[in-house]
Structure 1
Amino acid sequence: MEMHVTNLACTRGGLRVLEGVSFRVSPGQALVLRGPNGIGKTTLLRTLAGLQPADAGSVDPGPEAMAYASHADGNKATLTVGENLTFWARLHGMTDIGAALRDFNLETLVERPGGSLSAGQKRRLGLARMAVTGRPIWLFDEPTVSLDTDSVALFAAAITRHLDAGGSAVIATHIDLGLQGEVLQLGPFKAEAPQHADDFHEAFL
């Protein structure tokens, strides 16, 4: 499934931060988003995922084709690793969690409560949720935070398998994951600051 983003504009806190963003991502490809902190990478991903409305432009397909992994891992502390993944799988009409456990080296932790995991283990579990959604387009916001070198390699391998199966991914990261695809620098799409002080104040009313 090809992803088309056309003249997209995104806002944060009532202010437009990006405008004119256009790109395509074909099945089997990854797009890496780059830019300085605060440029709008998270805002763009949240807009693509349908968590906030676009200020202008279009995204095709819609959020029903996408799975989004944010900074928060989204794990339930009182559920085991297996129960966490089973919950997310059933939420998306899926049943098999075996591949996700394997791909993210969680098989030995399947009975461990989510709240007792290390930061890196929690991150792996959060990323493994993507593999049980059945969604063809994966969106990631700085996915390698808290991961050691071996876990980064596991993540890159999981993404590669997803791409090889015809999926696609959009990833905000500063790390070279060795994926087939392109890099999109968001700097050229930075929106101009408000021209008048009243414009700025009204954005927060």
Structure 2
Amino acid sequence: MDLTVSDLTIARGGVPVLAGLSFVLEPGHALILRGPNGIGKTTLLRTIAGLQPPVSGQITGAQDRIAYAAHADGIKPTLSVVENLRFWARVFGAGGIQPALEAFDLTTLSERAAGSLSAGQKRRLGLARLLVTGRPIWVLDEPTVSLDTRAVAMFADAVRAHLAWGGSALIATHIDLGLEAGVLDVTPFKASLAPAAGANAFDEAFL
């Protein structure tokens, strides 16, 4: 099933940031989001992931099909690498974790507490979560932060395997991942800086 975004307007703090945005993401395809810092890429991904409502427009094909990876790694520092992945596998009712460990070279770190890992290792563990969700649509916000060149290649390989399986990926990134992917520059959809309809008094106080 496609992920379809139709005439979407989104806001941050009650202020529209992107307006009139439409695209279709098909199974087996990746779409790279481009645009300057602060334009609204993170807000767009959060909206598509269902973490905040749009101002207007429609998102279809997303319900219970998205695995979202944001700037935070989404790991529990007191649990080991294996325990973290098992936790997420149970949450999503997915299968085994061994492919995720191998894809991000975490096998030798499997019994280490996540809190003791380096920034790059934590990032690899956070991305390995994607493989145990069983979700077909990956929505990723700057996923390569803290990764070295080798780990970026691991991530790109994981995305390719996901696409080959019939999954899809929507990725906000400033680097070239070497993927066959469409590119959507959101700059032309920048909204005028005016309060969104329905912005509450709390929001307006900080505009």
The two structures have a TM-score, normalised by structure 1, of 0.95
Q: Distance in 2 between matches of 1:21 and 1:107?
A: 41
SS in 2 for 1:178: coil
Q: After superposition, what is the alpha-carbon deviation per residue over 1:25-53, rounded to whole angstroms, capped at 9, x for unaligned?
A: 11111000000000000000000000000
1:1-205 to 2 correspondence within 5 Å? 1-194=1-194, 203-205=203-205
Q: In the alignment, is the contact (CA less than 8 A) between 1:28 and 1:168 conserved in 2?
A: yes
Q: List per-residue Cα deviations over 1:135-183 (Å, max 9, x = no partner).
A: 0000000000000000000000000000000000000001111112211
Q: Which amino acid aligns with 1:155?
A: F
1:177 partner SS: coil
Equivalent residue letter for 2:143: P
Q: Is the 8 A contact 2:141 2:173 kept in 1?
A: yes
1:194 CA drift (Å)? 2.1
Shift of the alpha carbon at 1:70?
Answer: 0.2
Taking the aligned partners of 1:16 and 1:204, their CA distance within structure 2 comes to 12
Separation in 1, partners of 2:15, 2:193: 8
Q: Which runs of 5+ in 1 are unaligned?
A: none
Give the fraction of aligned pairs with identical amino acids, expressed as a percent: 60
- Match of 2:204, SS state, is coil
CA contact (8 A) 1:48 1:63 kept: no
CA–CA distance in structure 2, aligned partners of residues 109 and 203 of structure 1: 44
Q: 4+ residue runs of structure 1 moved beyond 3 angstroms?
A: none
TM-score (structure 2 length as normaliser)? 0.94
**d(CA) in 1 for partners of 2:35, 2:181:** 17
For residue 202 of structure 1, report the CA deviation from its aligned partner. 7.5
Aligned equivalents of 1:190, 1:112: Cα separation in 2: 44
CA RMSD of aligned residues (A): 1.6
SS of structure 2 residue aligned to 1:64: coil
Q: Aligned pairs, how many?
A: 202
Q: Could you tell me which runs of 5 or more consecutive residues in structure 2 were left unpaired when the two chains were aligned.
A: none
SS of 1:204's equivalent in the other structure is: helix
